[in-house]
Structures are given as C-alpha cells and as structure tokens.
Structure 1
Amino acid sequence: MSLDFVNTYSQLINLSADADPSTFYSTEDYRKLQTLGPSLPTLSYPFPSAEANLVGESTIDVKLKSIRPPFKFTTELKAIPGSLSIYKLKNQLIDEVVSLKEAGICASNLKFMIKSKILTDTTTIGLLGDEVSITVMITQPSHNDTSKLLSDPEPELEAPKSISKGAWDKIESVLSADLGPEAAKIAVSKFKQVSI
C-alpha cells in the first residue's frame, strides 16, 4: 500500500460529514445513500483460478507402511496431488490395499503418523514436503456382523397365552414390598386388564 493512496483515502473520508447512526437502522435508509465513499483503485494482478491451480499443481510420491499385524503392508502411491487431504489419501489407501478393503476397514480406523506425530484428516499432502513416508496404525473395525444375524436368526420366544396364578402372586409380592399390600393389589388388577 503506498503512502499516496493512504493520504488520498484519508482526505476523501474527511470530506464527507458523519451521518447520524440512527439513519442506518433499516434497509430503506440505505436506498437514500448517494455515495458509498471513495472508490478504491483497481487491482493490477489477476486472481488465481481453479484451472491455473490444476495445471501447475505438484505431485508427490507417498510411501505408506503399517506397523502392526494383522494388516502388515508396505506400499507406495505415486503422483498424489499436493492438494489431496489426508482423509482422501486414507480412502485411496483402502482402495489400493486389498486386505484392508476386505476386512471392512474405513478411514476412521486408520491413523497416519510422521515421526510419531499424528496427521489430522484436513492436512493436505503438499504441506508435508516433496517425499513423504507415512507410518500407518490400523485399529480393528468394531461393527456388528449383521450378515450372521440375518442368516442365523435367533428363535422367537412364544408369548404365553395366559399367565398362571402363581406368576401373578409373585408379581404381587414383589410390588407389595415396594408399594404396600393394598397398592400392589390395585396394580396387579390393572396389569391383568392389559395382559394377554
């Protein structure tokens, strides 16, 4: 920013009188404004575009090595764009290593580390340097095997058609310990009305 610009800007600001703040509390008042103040100079350099970034983007070779069984592997992913996030790299690794994909490993089961420092999912590869060597820690996925439950369902217990007098007596004795004998009799009679 040049000194001439600052001087010109401060002179133009001082030319306009201060407006009463109460006049700027509604959008209707904004329509009455005749000027928005001094205009700023046009920037002389172009803004970066998405196409320009793709053309000149650097690529990085990433070496990945796991440290614990049962998923021991060493692989190298070549020509990874520098703008790729760690999260997307995790998904790319899962697609590359067949044993991870078959075991149902997802990105949340992977931890990427460089020199014992865990990398966050939002970190981009380009921030890590030209040659990257990442240590991978894998946690076993904790999911319920729904396919087993669907193929071998548990037998359903058949509800009894009637409840025996002995069962009602046990229920009443348990309730009478908490509620008292009279309240327990009332509760059991209500249960009998709703039961099967």
Structure 2
Amino acid sequence: MILNSRLATPLVLILALAAGAGDAAAETVVSKSIRYYTIGGRTSAEIDRELARHGPMTRSTGSRHPGTTEIRFGGEISYAEEGGRCRVRDVKVTLNTKITLPRWRNRNRANGEMALLWDTLAADIKRHEERHAEIARNYARTLENRLSRLTSTRTCAELQKKASEVTERTSAEHDADQARFDRVEALNFEKRLTRLLRHRAAQQER
C-alpha cells in the first residue's frame, strides 16, 4: 500500500497596516489532532480491502489511503511605517494538522501472526503521517523566520509583494518536500514493512 496522503492548502496571510517602532515580533502557533476510522476483516487480504474501501479520500489523488494528514497554514503579518520606510512589525504563522488513522476492530481477537502484522502496519502508517506533520511544522517555522527578516521598503505595497513572494516560494518548497517524502516511502514500503516485521518478531521471541 502506498501511504501518500497529504491534503495541502496554500499559505494565506492576512495583511494589516500599523504604526510603531521596534524589531519585528514573530510567532508560530501549531496545533495537531488525530482521529480514527474503524475497519473490519480477519485476514491480511480482508484488511487490505477494508483500508481501500474505508480509508480517507484525498482530493489531490482522488483515491483512498490508509492514513492522511490534512495541513492548513494561515497567519497574519502587519507593517509599520516610519522614517519614510515600511517594515514588518508582527508575524504570526499558524499551522493546523489533522491526522486520520485506521483502527482494526478485530485486533483483540486476532491470532499472534495477524496481531503482529497489524501492529507493525498501524505503527508504520502512524509514523508516516507524523512525519508529514513534522515537515509542515518545519516549514511553518521557516516561513515565520523568512517573513520576520524581510528588509524594509519604501512603501508597504512593495513589502506586501515581497511577503507574498516569500510565502509562495516557501509553500512550493513545502509541497515539493512532502511529495518527495511520499515517493521515497512508496518505493521502500515492501522492504520497510518486511524489516519491521522481522524486528518485532525477534523482540517477541526474547
């Protein structure tokens, strides 16, 4: 199963004009939530079909996936005019991530082999989605840092344009990194799952 599952939205900044002096204040506000959907099935083939049937749909691919991470960036940036120049006064970048993961209703009734398979698969799905959220957090902080370091311009319209360009560039870099992560994960899925299964089985034998 390919676990590429990000729902990306463009970075949106609310632009305001303010008067004042001093260095730019910057803040990154991050929130994360996790929800679960339930699947049935008793064999690996049945679980695979359940994931394909009930997994969350992604708008980017138009297909269902075992797990998804919905990512929403937002925020505010304000400017201050002084001495005939316009500078960044305050920057606030917000990030909200919503992770969706599967829960197998038959886990407690499964035999040892199926329990091992499910626990390994579920842990890998969660790790994958948590990494998407981590990539987004890194870029939220990058955006906040880049915006707060913008140099002053003659007019606030010029500075607003620079802020928009930085936002678009950071958003594109973020999307590219997320897509790159998914490609690598998809290529290595079978080998990774086999390695994890062997490791967990060895731990249980100790």
Shorter-chain TM-score tier: under 0.3
TM-score, length-scaled by structure 1: 0.23
Higher helix share: 2
What TM-score comes out, normalization by structure 2 length? 0.22
Larger relative contact order (C-alpha < 8 A, sep ≥ 6)?
A: 2
